[in-house]
Amino acid sequence: MQLLKYIQAQGFGSRKQCQWLIDNDCIEINGEIRNRAKDDINPAEVSSLVVDGEAVVAVPMPYFYILLNKPADYETSHKPQHYPSVFSLFPDHMRNIEMQAVGRLDADTTGVLLITNDGQFNHRVTSPKHKVAKLYHVTLKHAAEQSLCDTLKNGVLLHDDNETVRATEAVLENPHTLLMTITEGKYHQVKRMVAAAGNRVEHLHRDRFGDWDTQNLAAGEWKFIDIS
Ligand code: URA
């Protein structure tokens, strides 16, 4: 990939702006100033990137996969209405790079959120056909008994949805804490299922999405992951 294309793809502005950065010795890759726009860059070999004197995150190209431990009060949207966007948690230049969340978490839901620029991957893992397991840690308003788990596993009819949905796993950790796994990603699915089963979600945290968990990331922290 040409240096100019690489710097543009990293979100450092228009072709003209990136050309200026290159011409003015503002791009340092792996400790070396790179000032020839047509030089070939192998993104996989970039271990450090400094732009205009500032060490910045080098985003893997052409595809990248991010695991974010979503904090509460952030919206999974590029056009948030009430809270800041989850995309505002990334450094400035990354906000110029096209990326999408893999499914959505409600503003008040915390935990594992994947973000990628790989549309095929996104489609694959969010499609109900592929039955990717999502594990939620649910704090319940009312003390629950085993019967709640049975109801969720047997299936509940969601209001306005005319379709029965089931939890593939549901285990009570204590009367107010439920661990629940689902394989679809319908709108407010966990909250609606718990409501349909006669309880109420006080707080929701996604512990795991497929093979990925928050891996000791604090709320708001993120990292690139390898999906192979
Ligand atoms: N189910 C919900 O109700 N909310 C979420 O954020 C995710 C799953």
Total residue count of the chain as it appears in this document: 228
- What is the residue-averaged pLDDT of the chain? 96
Give Cα 208 to chain centroid, integer Å.
11
Do 28 and 83 sit in the same domain of this protein? no
- Which DSSP helix (H) or strand (E) runs through 116? strand 110-116
The boundaries of the domain holding residue 32 are: 3-56
Residues catalogued as catalytic: 106
Q: What are the φ and ψ backbone dihedral angles of 10, each rounded to 5 degrees?
A: -80, -5
Please state the domain count of the chain: 3
What secondary structure does DSSP assign to 26-71, as a single string?
Answer: -EEETTEE---TT-B--GGG---EEETTEEE----SS--EEEEEEP
**From the CA of 205, how far away is ligand 1's center (Å)?**
9
- Ligand 1 atom nearest residue 104's Cα: 6
pLDDT digits (tens, 9 = 90+) for 29-61: 999 999 999 999 999 999 999 999 999 999 999
Same domain, 152 and 204: yes
C-alpha of residue 96 to centroid of ligand 1, in Å: 28
| Mean per-residue pLDDT, 59-88 | 97
To test the ligand 1 pocket, which listed residue (141, 159, 189) has its Cβ within 8 A of the most ligand atoms?
189
